[in-house]
Chains A and B, each alone.
Chain A
Amino acid sequence: NAGVTQTPKFQVLKTGQSMTLQCAQDMNHNSMYWYRQDPGMGLRLIYYSASEGTTDKGEVPNGYNVSRLNKREFSLRLESAAPSQTSVYFCASSAGQDFGYTFGSGTRLTVV
């Protein structure tokens, strides 16, 4: 049972480039989330999807877009990467907002 799978695990981008981070879960969870984690800042919610077909902004949505492709997949897109977006990105899923989250192993993104 894979849980939450994120790809890629590592990425280096040049300023202004675009990319999509992929996330898929195989637990039939309704809710999915994208976080970024920076030293001293903790986990910050970028976007979330409470259920298939819905997406909402979190604490730090600027510079990002998301797509809930189906119940399993939730992607995060950086249209024009900036050095401030250098971070570790985690995808998570849960059966609902009352339940614990299952996290993926993360994508380490560096923007130069």
Chain B
Amino acid sequence: QKEVEQDPGPLSVPEGAIVSLNCTYSNSAFQYFMWYRQYSRKGPELLMYTYSSGNKEDGRFTAQVDKSSKYISLFIRDSQPSDSATYLCAMGYGGSQGNLIFGKGTKLSVKP
């Protein structure tokens, strides 16, 4: 079992839809969780960062972490064509205990 699993999609939604992107993980030692957005032919950029279980909101984006279920989600409200990108989850152990572990990414397309 891989440490981080992410459905590769592709996921296609109409403009204005609520999008749910998900990752599961196997190692309960992960302490912090991130979401990156990668536009085509660009490098990933950090979108959301959280340490704890629960929800963190930033504009139209909400990151949700459920440590008991080893499951994280990114919700995008009122999705826009400009949200079309690949979204990668990433997780870290904290301290000096290794580097981030990335999911393989979910490709999202928001149709006008």
Residues of A near any B CB (own CB < 8 A): 4, 33, 40-43, 45, 48, 50, 58, 90, 92, 97-98, 100-106
Contact = CB atoms under 8 A, between A and B. Distances in A.
Interface residues of B, number: 23
Contacts of A103: 43-45
Contacts of B88: 42-43
Given A42-B105, A58-B99, A98-B32, A104 B43 contact: yes
User: 6 tightest CB-CB pairs across the interface, nearest first?
Assistant: A103-B43, A42-B104, A100-B46, A43-B102, A103-B44, A105-B43
A44 to B, nearest CB: 9
Nearest to B47: A100
Given A100-B34, A103-B45, A33 B99 contact: yes
Given A40-B8, A42-B103, A97 B96 contact: yes
Given A97-B100, A103-B45, 9 more contacts: A40-B8, A43-B44, A58-B99, A92-B43, A97-B99, A101-B100, A103-B43, A105-B42, A106-B42
Interface in B72-94: 88, 92, 94
Interface of B: 8, 32, 34, 41-46, 49, 88, 92, 94-100, 102-105
A106 B102 CA distance: 17
A90 B105 CA distance: 15
Contacts of A33: 99
Contacts of A4: 43
B104 A45 contact: no
A106 B45 CA distance: 12
